[in-house]
């Protein structure tokens, strides 16, 4: 689960639900009975426009995109923070998701990372073909069949979009549109449904939306 609350990252990981704090603090806090309790661990970089993803069967968290270059990544093991591979391009507000079982990031608010796609393996980040759209602030989520779904976000003119894109077999395709445009939301998959919560449209209004999938992870209603 990769969750976004006011552009901080609230992440569920094994026995942890913790917050990666925005701005120049390097801090993490644990959610305990609806109370945020600061943890003693610190990231190796300041962060903003960052992303977090539960990895290693939810036993660790990948936290990426430092304040300065938007390329650095750390792994939180539950008891320590260790540096890992940096991306080739900046991915400010590019998000993190899964594609074919591996972490992936798409696009950036910054010019050098626009439309750039990278996936992480045990040997580092690998560059894939560019995405067809210049989006950032979107939501990424991996499906059981290995495909990646990219939902909403903002385009090159800073306008929110309702587009849903799918990456499958290294090819991008346009899926159905959301009923409401949204950027910087939260996406959660459960069963054959994807829920989009929070974020905002051009009027700073947030909607709860749902995408239904069939048994083959193809899209039905939105």
- Sheet with 35-42, edge to edge strand ranges: 35-42, 27-32, 16-20, 8-13, 2-5, 186-190, 193-197, 209-212
Report the range of poorest mean pLDDT among 44-48, 63-67, 99-103, 194-198.
44-48
| Res 16: pLDDT | 52
| Res 72: pLDDT | 96
| Res 178: pLDDT | 95
The two three-digit tokens of residue 127, written as one number: 């560059």
Q: Where are the domains of the chain?
A: 123-221
Residue 154 gets which letter from DSSP?
A: B
Evaluate if residue 22 carries a pLDDT over 70: no
Cα dist from 30 to 21, 41, 96, whole Å: 11, 11, 21
Q: What is the DSSP string of 178-219?
A: PSS-BBS-EEEEETTEEEEE--B-TTS----EEEEB-TTS-B
What rounded mean pLDDT belongs to the chain? 86
Report if pTM > 0.85: yes
Query: Which distant-in-sequence residues (6+ apart) come within 8 Å of 109 by Cβ?
Result: 49, 92, 93, 94, 136, 137
CB atoms within 10 A of CB 42: 12
Give the integer Cα–Cα distance in Å for 75 and 78: 9
Percent of the chain residues topping a pLDDT of 70: 88
Give the integer Cα–Cα distance in Å for 139 and 1: 11
Give the integer Cα–Cα distance in Å for 174 and 167: 9
Confidence of residue 171 (pLDDT cuts 50, 70, 90): very high
Evaluate if residue 149 carries a pLDDT over 80: yes
Q: Where does residue 184 rank: exposed (0-12), middle (13-18), buried (19+ CB within 10 A)?
A: buried
Secondary-structure breakdown of the chain: helix, strand, coil percentages, each rounded to the nearest 5: 0, 50, 50
Give the integer Cα–Cα distance in Å for 17 and 203: 31
Report the range of poorest mean pLDDT among 6-10, 108-112, 151-155, 189-193.
6-10
Confidence of residue 12 (pLDDT cuts 50, 70, 90): low
Cα of first residue to Cα of last residue in the chain, in angstroms, is 20
């Amino acid at each position: 689960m990769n969750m976004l609350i006011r552009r901080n990252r609230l992440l569920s990981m094994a026995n942890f639900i913790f917050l990666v704090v925005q701005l120049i603090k390097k801090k993490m806090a644990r959610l305990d009975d609806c109370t945020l309790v600061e943890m003693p661990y610190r990231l190796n970089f300041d962060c903003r426009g960052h992303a977090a993803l539960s990895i290693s069967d939810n036993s660790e968290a990948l936290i990426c995109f430092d304040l300065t270059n938007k390329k650095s990544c750390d792994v939180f093991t539950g008891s320590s923070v260790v540096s890992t591979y940096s991306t080739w391009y900046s991915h400010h507000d590019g998000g993190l998701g899964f594609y074919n079982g591996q972490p992936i990031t798409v696009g950036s608010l910054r010019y050098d990372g626009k439309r750039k796609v990278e996936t992480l393996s045990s040997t580092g980040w690998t560059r894939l073909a560019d995405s067809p759209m210049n989006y950032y602030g979107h939501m990424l989520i991996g499906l059981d069949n290995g495909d990646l779904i990219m939902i909403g976000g903002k385009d090159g003119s800073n306008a929110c979009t309702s587009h849903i894109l799918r990456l499958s077999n290294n090819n991008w395709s346009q899926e159905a549109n959301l009923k409401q445009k949204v950027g910087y939301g939260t996406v959660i998959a459960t069963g054959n449904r994807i829920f989009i919560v929070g974020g905002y449209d051009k009027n700073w209004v947030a909607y709860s939306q749902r995408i239904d999938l069939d048994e083959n992870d193809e899209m039905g209603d939105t």
